[in-house]
């Protein structure tokens, strides 16, 4: 269950328990996280294991076997333990709450929960009991301090912002005020990234992404519909422990999570390369776990960590469970990637795989411009090598429009 406890102690004796196993105690101002964990009796081994996994996700070190010593994980743990409680605001604008729900349900360990708990949300509408004037005051209080700002949801500019107002102010005004003193700004979810389904043609509310509003500020985009909870946590942890934003691609997406294509890490990739495709969702090829390209998979044009990090505590992800990727981390996917169950000539890379590799290589190459030397020498470097390999792999070339879909799936040799 969600582990949040809102703390407005600077303004009033008003705390809110939200079904947390840690509700007996809260991270105090001035206390380090290490002191806090110790006071709560958190198992240090579990904490180090969590840090080791997070270090891998963030591209800070290599994977180690379960229980083995991870120098990158230990370094991350040392930084987290020295951390003093930061101020975090989580705004929810024109959205469905799916992103925060995804985050709350992501963790298999108490430590994972705790990392979100540790950031001590000063303002998060989904979870706080405060309402009305109290909520407004909490937001003002947090906004007046240096803070990390996370935003879910788009900003509707139509009708002078009337489609989404909070406390009588438009989403745009709320966002600008909350961003004024923000040290880092994270646009979390496809809505905050570019507007998502609300921004799909004809975009009746004038839905817009955060980076279109805060044009004079760097915005870290964490897209997905919703994003993977661990990726959101990874971004927050990176900021808190590294003291700077993670290397990002040209769309502002952290490379550690959005630096490689779904297609390049997909467990069904061997079937793609062998020309073995699902033709219909219930055919024999589907039961064999063949490639979903012909039933609309957009994995060749989608950059995300889904095959590696997975969902629900690492259980599975859409393609693994038999559904094509619909490209939910890509900008304008509701316009570009629909109909979802068709191969589309309008989507670069889908239909002619050689183009997909070119698109991927171009996107990755551009993304690498912003990569630090450290990252380039580690995980990103490996990804670049992988992209070079792909470029010489013999791949099936399909006709315009993605080629003719096999009637019944099965083995279809590349033409
Ligand atoms: Fe995987 Fe989709 Fe690529 Fe097939 S097309 S290998 S299912 S990502
Ligand atoms: Fe989204 Fe594709 Fe992952 S649809 S959840 S990016 S597999």
- Map out the domains of the chain as residue ranges: 4-29+85-246, 258-411
Indicate if ligand 2 lies below 6 Å from the C-beta of 319: yes
Among 11-25, 55-69, 110-124, which stretch is predicted with the lowest mean pLDDT?
11-25
Q: Enter the CATH code of domain 258-411.
A: 4.10.480.10
Over residues 229-249, the mean pLDDT reads 90
Q: Percent of the chain scored above 70 by pLDDT?
A: 72
Indicate if ligand 2 lies below 6 Å from the C-beta of 266: no
Q: Ligand 1 centre from 86 Cα, in Å? A: 40
Over residues 246-261, the mean pLDDT reads 94
Ligand 2 atom with the shortest distance to the CA of 306 = 3
The crossing angle, in degrees rounded to 10, of helices 132-143 and 171-179 is 40
- State the DSSP code for 401: G
Over residues 170-183, the mean pLDDT reads 97
What are 150-164's pLDDT values in tens digits? 999 999 999 999 999
pTM for this prediction:
0.78
Which two structure tokens, joined as six digits, stand for 217?
């500020």
pLDDT tier at 23, thresholds 50, 70, 90:
very low
The best mutation among 197, 227, 262, 341 to test binding of ligand 2, ranked by most ligand atoms within 8 Å of the C-beta, falls on: 262
Over residues 374-400, the mean pLDDT reads 31
Asked if residues 268 and 290 have their Cβ atoms less than 8 Å apart, the reply is yes
The CA distance from 79 to 48, in Å, is 12
Out of 3.40.630.30, 3.90.870.30, 3.40.50.700, 3.10.150.10, the CATH code matching 4-29+85-246 is 3.40.50.700
pLDDT at position 115, please?
57
pLDDT tier at 201, thresholds 50, 70, 90:
very high
The CA distance from 86 to 145, in Å, is 10
pLDDT at position 47, please?
84
Among 242-251, 274-283, 299-308, 395-404, which stretch is predicted with the lowest mean pLDDT?
395-404
The CA distance from 26 to 37, in Å, is 10
The residue ranking higher by pLDDT, 65 or 203, is 203
For residue 266, the number of C-alpha atoms closer than 13 Å in the C-beta half-sphere is 31
Residue 265 belongs to what H/E stretch?
helix 262-265
Q: How far is CA 394 from CA 54, 244, 261, 413, 415, in A?
A: 35, 40, 18, 12, 11
The residue ranking higher by pLDDT, 395 or 59, is 59
Q: Ligand 2 centre from 95 Cα, in Å? A: 18
């Amino acid at each position: 269950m969600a582990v949040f406890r809102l703390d407005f102690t600077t303004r009033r004796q008003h705390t809110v328990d939200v079904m947390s196993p840690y509700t007996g105690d809260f991270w105090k101002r001035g206390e380090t996280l290490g002191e806090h964990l110790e006071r709560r009796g958190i198992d240090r081994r579990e904490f180090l294991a969590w840090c080791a996994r997070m270090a891998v996700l963030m591209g800070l070190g290599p994977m180690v076997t379960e229980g083995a010593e991870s120098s990158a994980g230990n370094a991350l743990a040392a930084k987290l333990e020295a951390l003093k409680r930061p101020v975090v605001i989580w705004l929810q604008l024109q959205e469905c709450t799916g992103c925060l729900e995804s985050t709350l349900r992501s963790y298999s360990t108490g430590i994972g929960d705790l990392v979100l708990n540790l950031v001590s949300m000063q303002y998060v509408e989904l979870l706080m009991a405060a309402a009305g004037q109290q909520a407004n005051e909490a937001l003002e209080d947090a906004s007046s301090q240096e803070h990390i700002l996370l935003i879910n949801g788009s900003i509707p500019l139509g009708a002078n912002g009337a489609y989404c107002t909070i406390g009588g102010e438009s989403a745009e005004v709320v966002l600008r005020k909350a961003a004024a003193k923000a040290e880092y700004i994270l646009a979390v979810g496809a809505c905050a990234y570019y507007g998502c389904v609300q921004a799909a043609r004809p975009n009746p509310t004038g839905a817009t992404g955060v980076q279109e509003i805060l044009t004079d500020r760097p915005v870290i985009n964490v897209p997905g519909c919703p994003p993977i909870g661990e990726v959101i946590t990874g971004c927050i942890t990176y900021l808190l422990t590294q003291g700077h934003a993670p290397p990002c691609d040209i769309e502002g997406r952290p490379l550690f999570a959005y630096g490689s294509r779904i297609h390049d890490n997909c467990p069904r990739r061997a079937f793609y390369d062998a020309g073995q495709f699902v033709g219909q969702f219930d055919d024999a090829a589907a039961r064999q776990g063949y490639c979903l390209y012909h039933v609309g998979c957009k994995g060749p044009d989608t950059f995300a960590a889904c095959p590696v990090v997975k969902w629900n505590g690492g259980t599975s992800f859409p393609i693994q469970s038999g559904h094509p990727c619909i490209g939910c981390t890509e900008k304008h996917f509701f316009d570009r990637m629909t109909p979802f169950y068709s191969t589309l000539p309008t989507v670069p890379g889908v239909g002619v795989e050689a183009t997909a590799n070119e698109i991927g290589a171009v996107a990755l190459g551009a993304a690498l411009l912003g990569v630090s030397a450290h990252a380039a020498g580690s995980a990103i470097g490996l990804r670049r090598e992988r992209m070079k390999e792909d470029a010489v792999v013999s791949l099936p070339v399909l006709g315009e429009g993605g080629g003719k879909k096999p009637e019944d799936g099965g083995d279809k040799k590349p033409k």
